[in-house]
Copies of this chain bind each other. A is one copy, B any other.
């Protein structure tokens, strides 16, 4: 049973994926109820692709999957935090994380 989640007007919540071992923040993606349920059930990081408008099992084509260790909601239930074991780079650019070398200040 998934607790009440405060989805936005598009039916989505931001989901932060954090490396369970290193603590690095890997990426932020979006989940709808189906993606969250799939993530909890399969333990594979699963999101909603806003560009392709479809469920997106991270790494399905690249092999860079996320084994999910834990799923948490924040205090007002509108953000998801995943602790994951990331296979390969998390970012589609090939960088370790989506924030690698992206410091602006």
By a beta-carbon cutoff of 8 Å, the part of chain A in contact with chain B is 2-3, 14, 16, 18, 22-25, 27-28, 40, 70-76, 79, 81, 91-93, 95, 98-99, 102-105
Contacts and interface: CB of A to CB of B under 8 A. Distances in A.
Contact of A28 (B3, B27, B79, B91): B79
A40 B104 CA distance: 9
A91 B74 CA distance: 9
A23 B105 CA distance: 19
B2 A104 contact: yes
The 8 closest A-B pairs by CB, nearest first: A23-B23, A74-B98, A40-B105, A28-B79, A71-B105, A72-B99, A75-B98, A72-B102
Contacts of A75: 91-93, 95, 98-99, 102
A10 to B, nearest CB: 10
